[in-house]
Amino acid sequence: MLNLISKFNNSAEARESKDEVLIGEVVFAMAHLGCPSIGFHAGMDLQYVKFKPVGNNVLHTVTVLLDRKTGDSVLQQAVVGSKATLTIVGEVKNHFSDPDDLVNMFRTDLANVFRNPWLGKVKLDHQLNSVTATKKQIIDIDDLTTPPEGRTRLNELLRGVLSELHENLATYKK
């Protein structure tokens, strides 16, 4: 036999698959926002998908992380609901080929990021030639996956955060 079934965790109950349902809806919504997926990581409690915002002159990648805060049991579901932390990270990448530009970036932009990493609820950070903006929010998975309104709410949420990250990172794109 091909043993295809054995590759799955058998989280067959719908309540155990809420994270995956949301990830599926996020991939669908992001594709419609012009951001195809370019990387998947799916572990037991943390899942993230990396997307490429095609044609976006600021954002190099966008990563959506889903960190489930509640357990999968019926009891935990009843008490806490299906809350999770949805983290969306926008990344700007600068392809510097002049050492003077690199020095200037450290003196100005990155010094500013160090001094004041928060822009409202968005946190800025930098690593080598990337500047990232991170927006973290607690969500109710059911709110974003229950048809038909869930899909509309998820679309609005993603569209809004992408626009916010784009706006906050535009100044760092050289």
Footprint of other proteins on 22-61 (CB under 8 A): 23-25, 27-28, 31, 36-42, 47, 49-50, 52, 54
d(CA 27, CA 31): 6
Ranges assigned E (strand) in the chain: 37-42, 46-51, 61-68, 83-93, 118-119, 122-127, 130-140
125 exposure class (CB count in 10 Å sphere: 0-12, 13-18, 19+): middle
Q: Which of 69, 96, 119, 173 binds other proteins (CB under 8 A)?
A: 96
Q: Is 148 in the site for other proteins (CB under 8 A)?
A: no
**Which CB atom, from 95 or from 115, has the smaller least distance to other proteins?**
95
Instruction: Pick from 45, 99, 128, 138 the residue near other proteins by CB under 8 A.
Output: 99
Q: Specify the stretch interacting with other proteins by CB under 8 A; choose among 20-28, 74-82, 109-117, 130-138.
A: 20-28
Using the minimum distance from each CB to other proteins, give the nearer residue, 20 or 109. 20
CB 40, min distance to other proteins, A? 4
Q: Are strands 46-51 and 118-119 parallel, antiparallel or unpaired?
A: unpaired
CA distance 157 to 159: 6
Q: Which amino acid is at 122?
A: V
Q: How far apart are CA 57 and CA 144, in angstroms?
A: 29
Q: Which residue's CB is nearer to other proteins, number 50 or number 173?
A: 50
Residues that bind other proteins (CB under 8 A): 1-5, 7-12, 14, 17, 20-21, 23-25, 27-28, 31, 36-42, 47, 49-50, 52, 54, 95-99, 147
